[in-house]
Structure 1
């Protein structure tokens, strides 16, 4: 079955467009954009309508501020440069879609708003932290230190709260520290030693948080060939017998720690969740690089969880984020015991490589340990669903944003079309990569779907 998105979202989308003419001009910008994070002052210039991504939108001016200004956007702010006509939802994703690898260039408000803030919030961060970084860092070179400084502040806060006996607050502070360290290192491909250091601080922060969570996150190392893969298992409280489990598979530049919000959603619904780092990811890099047959680590994780007495071995599903979305389908093709699969911002193959943002291509070079982009592609020649998707017989949910700048929407549509009897497609018409800008709807929706299906 192929659907455009959950019914509630479809209704919301229709309301945002069909009711535009009845909305006062000064309020129409936010109504059309559904831009929850950007508080903007709209000038009284005449409004004109345009179409982006198949939907009407109101194009009006909003005030921006200088890079070193006191806030990114805000009601009552003083214009410090020419008014812009761009916001998170009203940007043409084909122009400057970006995430450039030029680290010396100034930070770009469009880029921060369109991608980084939604992703930060979706993973459990505070949008105010992104605004603080934007106001401290004038260039991408300054981005790592600005984020690391915030992470250090959360570490100190966690230590203070723990000393006072407030474990829940301490856990939340440590998780936020991990998120900040992740954002600090994610663009630092040109500073490999700093990137490694910040990744280590991220790991350490989450380790502090794990036992303080309720229910706690258990640190595990699962066998994988001659090595082990690190992960965290959360089991729901008050369980009565074995429970279903979701295997959470990271993407190119995400790691096990980035699944904190989805793990919390899972245990609230009585599901176990196991997030782990595979080849080329998090703690495993550079010990094991991203390369051929990544899906083998998903099968290894399935075996490890199936052996746990707390988990029902017949009710284990997967959720793969971004690049992980390709691999969970490949895993379902070779491991029929996987009961359900969620492709979260994934793809059929790497055919969109030439149009991918430079930062993403840099990420592939880094994760594979390649010499250059051509070498990275050669090392990932098996990253395709060609020849294997027909073996998938279990239910598959495909979640994608029409404005995805990394994996284009046609990739998700191709997956769903290849599985007409067992695939469901949720396509958000104004969603960005992994629908980060509509995170609550889709993350809860994915976990609810797994809850029903498992």
Structure 2
């Protein structure tokens, strides 16, 4: 794929993740091939690390570190031999940024997951943000901010095969096991054996979150954004197959993983109130979007944004406040 086409395809994803659009254009306009993508984004992130070191205040340093984390993460979107280095740099930059900007943020890790817990210790609800096929906790800072602004605690995580854990693990289709360990850890940290959580799943994370909600009774609220109800390996575009093969350990494993992604048997078991968000412009061969999930879940509602693309980075006002309100109101209903 020509680099200009690749950059155009990633435009709303990058700006939706919080990259300055002018900086994005400056960096991508200078690329001659997709192979240049990772090194250029890594260099840009490193420049923000230098700016953080030279900043005149901890606030400015933290903001540069957040920007660095975004660039480092997005360096991993193209095939890149140093992707593990970029993911590790993103994880470190985000941790350092929150240490300056939100000293109360806590690293929480366990078997198959790691992430950062933010928000008040006495928050009326806790939300876990679940990333997807090639996303990570650094990509959804705007979503976390919307939930934090409503008084919730937020745990943005990387699971098996995701973010900083992709270097030495593979995606796990049975994500309910990961979520169970996350809830155990968060409950132990809060001293609450009765902790329940909300889940927000992004892209393939929508499948992970919906599956977990069907099988883990401690999920009390659920939202998915651009999540698949079903995948058909034979129809998936080759670039998607390639990413899935890298994240699952090979083509055979990727094919088997894709065949597992089918929420039809599980949707009726989702007891939590569910909001499914799709962009009407998000059309990928081999991917069945979220409408069947919303229709089959007992308490599902469907929001289809006509001009929205994948992850709806081009339409955040049309869904993000509504999603944040849905999760907040659901989690706090018993406290009102």
Give the alignment's TM-score, normalised by structure 2: 0.91
Report if aligned partners of 1:244, 1:311 keep a CA contact under 8 Å in 2. Answer: no
The equivalent position to 1:142 in structure 2, one of 12, 36, 43, is 36
- The offset of 1:322, in angstroms, is 0.5
Question: Corresponding residue for 1:305?
Answer: 186
Q: Give secondary structure in 1 for the equivalent of 2:102.
A: coil
The range that moved more, 360-369 or 279-288, is 279-288
Question: Corresponding residue for 1:43?
Answer: none
Distance 2:223 2:104 in 1: 25
Distance 2:102 2:321 in 1: 19
* 1:387 is the counterpart of 2:232: no
Q: Give secondary structure in 1 for the equivalent of 2:52.
A: helix
- The offset of 1:258, in angstroms, is 1.7
Deviations 1:261-300 (A, max 9, x none): 2222222110000011111111222432113412210121
Question: Corresponding residue for 1:364?
Answer: 244
Question: Corresponding residue for 1:232?
Answer: 116
Structure 1 unpaired stretches of 5+: 1-101
Distance 2:198 2:285 in 1: 23
Distance 1:443 1:339 in 2: 19
Question: Corresponding residue for 1:430?
Answer: 307
Question: Corresponding residue for 1:202?
Answer: 90
Question: Corresponding residue for 1:439?
Answer: 316
Backbone CA RMSD of aligned residues: 2.2
The equivalent position to 1:183 in structure 2, one of 74, 82, 94, is 74
Distance 1:377 1:408 in 2: 12
Distance 1:397 1:435 in 2: 15
Deviations 1:340-364 (A, max 9, x none): 110111011212x445443322110
Structure 2 unpaired stretches of 5+: 332-336
- The offset of 1:428, in angstroms, is 0.7
Return the structure number with greater helix share. Answer: 2
Residue-pair matches, total: 331
Report if aligned partners of 2:48, 2:64 keep a CA contact under 8 Å in 1. Answer: yes
The equivalent position to 1:211 in structure 2, one of 91, 99, 123, is 99
Distance 1:329 1:170 in 2: 37
Deviations 1:354-407 (A, max 9, x none): 45443322110011011x2x4411244322213222211110000001111347
Give the alignment's TM-score, normalised by structure 1: 0.68
Aligned pairs for 1:22-421 (under 5 A) are: 102=1, 105-108=2-5, 111-113=6-8, 115-161=9-55, 164=56, 166-188=57-79, 191-192=80-81, 194-214=82-102, 216-222=104-110, 224=111, 229-236=113-120, 241-309=122-190, 313-351=194-232, 353-370=233-250, 372=251, 374-406=252-284, 411-419=289-297, 421=298
- The offset of 1:304, in angstroms, is 1.8
- The offset of 1:215, in angstroms, is 5.9
Report if aligned partners of 1:215, 1:234 keep a CA contact under 8 Å in 2. Answer: no
Distance 2:103 2:150 in 1: 13
Distance 1:379 1:195 in 2: 22
Distance 2:299 2:40 in 1: 46
Q: Give secondary structure in 2 for the equivalent of 1:137.
A: coil
Distance 1:337 1:196 in 2: 33
- The offset of 1:438, in angstroms, is 0.5
The range that moved more, 330-339 or 308-317, is 308-317
Distance 2:190 2:175 in 1: 26
Distance 1:186 1:174 in 2: 20
Report if aligned partners of 1:244, 1:316 keep a CA contact under 8 Å in 2. Answer: yes
Q: Give secondary structure in 2 for the equivalent of 1:403.
A: coil
- The offset of 1:209, in angstroms, is 0.9
